[in-house]
Chain A
């Protein structure tokens, strides 16, 4: 019985069970400039062994530069890159041990799928017999055994993506870098692949650095997310942390719809500039002008005149001016005495539907309100 289980488990899985394969990565005080353009400024980041870390940011934010530095295609202008405790700042790519999945897959068009998978093993001087074995194993892992004699051009986008993944993993690297690997796939396939990649990573306990500009993808897959903008880290944290407690307006706005209120803090209380509400904030918040954020789905909406069930911290009256039906939920825009407020409600069976022109009462709780850091409101 036990023998059967051992036989069924592939070699890769067995080794993963025995050892933690992933390695630690550390960026220390990295700066990288191209001429007068500073792509990265004072960049500090530690990736824990076996962690799935995502770099998220708009184009030009420095996330690809970070990946290139770790891949050894670029070298830092100052600072150090450490992999597994060793300084690799000046070590070129071909002397490092890592797997990379490229945005364009970069499968070798003149080699069959099998030859593509064998390539990273050949460059490591592995015996032919073992190459054949491990190639087959990798093909099984991504369920492409029947395509091994085909050329990349004969596969669909999704299949090519899996070959690229298998090729990055076949040599058992302790570190996997992925540069927007799912960008070229359609939505359904992308979601399927996200789960598959996540499963493989968890099973092999790989350290993964993942680069994307798709915040949903980052939320789905990551252990931690690094939000970057203009060469600097905006915030690092678990997905829930970044979504629920963004530190800056940039981060808040990067993860979907958000209502931003401008106001000021005085005696542990936030007062909106338009005088529409006040809300208690944690003691110790710096006094003076401030801004805060509330996610649309944290706001409850009631017909005017009906008392809200709970005693929420904020209550504002307004009128529905726009309704957009989104399937699972609806998105309402409500005009209040101050600014327009966006609300998202689930289309649950009991939820009342509101129409344009309805008078409504909005309410939310104090802990739904996030005070954002000043000065970083870009």
Chain B
């Protein structure tokens, strides 16, 4: 039996709940994002249900505590192949033992789970560090990102409490959605990038280059700050201690695109 869910965390919890509710044997859970119909396997679509989610969450909190549940959510955001069934296994085993297996550091399943959590957590931390805002029209601080994992839900709280007095947008170009803080709440948004591009915002703000003739005074001033930052970055380096291997380990090349000091 294959349960197909809507690619949200709540959807996954509903699917797991259903497997207990209908006492299903040998269940596989798959996201609608990757699901392809199979001939020999029965398929059922899961309907995300808030009541089921709440009930399962309560059980999970009791088993794993808040930190364990956060880990499970992080692993889910890795979007890695078959993460659903990894999580399903961990939850199922813990429920039947009535004890969390997450501390069993020598268990292969837990090891691969820990690895996923670590990767996602590292990416979250990197995005908190590597987001570079540019002040654009409408007094909005804007940043593009392309994280390896879907970390926007994890970083939203950090940016909200830190930048409480400025409007900001962090846009995930890989997953085509962003979060927008309007001085009150954080909302998910999508931007039609093709029309925005014509206004020149997204071209010029990324590298501080673009067509100089198209730049407004505001953008010029904005580029000045980028340049001051680049200058600072250069001046604070100690040449006689150069260690590029360590440097690249800390700032892998795939992130350089949006770091003005590395462009």
Chain A bound to chain B: no
Q: Residues of B with Cβ closer than 8 Å to A?
A: none
Q: Residues of A with Cβ closer than 8 Å to B?
A: none
